[in-house]
Amino acid sequence: MEGNSEKLYQTFAAALGVDRSLVTDDLQYNKIAQWDSIAHMSLVAQLETAFDIMLETEDIIDMSSVKKAKEILEKYDVRF
């Protein structure tokens, strides 16, 4: 669903404190200064709130890019 993709991008932008235009599927963890481990936990909290889910620890560790985040969220019945 288009709406969920945009919701995901907006959540990333808000959690990392970057412009929405910077958030693409190719954006990767630790490749920009704003997406460090502290921001990652904030991102997880905001994703969980936005999509009303609770991620498993292994999925948090595996969430290494925006593209990967989509794959993981699909496991929780979020459709893109």
Partner 1 sequence: MSGSESAASNRWLQGKVALVTGAARGIGLASARLLAGHGATVYLSGRRLELLEALAQEVSEQSGAVVRSLLLDVTDPASVSKAFGSIHRENKGLDVLVNNAGVLKDALIGMVGAEDMATVFGVNTFGVLHCCQYASRLMARRGGGSIVNVSSIIGVTGNAGQAVYAASKSAVIGITKSLAKELAPQNIRVNAVAPGFIDTDMARSLSPEKFQERVDSIKMKRIGTAEDVAGVILFLASPLAEYVTGQTIGVDGGMLI
Contact residues toward partner 1 (CB under 8 A) are 41, 44-45, 48-49, 54, 56-58
Output 19 or 58, the one with its CB closest to partner 1: 58
Q: Are 67 and 31 in contact (CB under 8 A)?
A: no
Task: Tell me whether residue 1 or residue 38 sits nearer to partner 1 (CB atom).
Answer: 38
* Amino acid letter for position 75: K
Nearer Cβ to partner 1 (32/41): 41
Cβ 12 to partner 1 shortest distance, Å? 18
Closest listed residue to residue 16, CA positions, set 80, 68, 60, 38: 38
Residues pairing with 28 in the sheet: 65
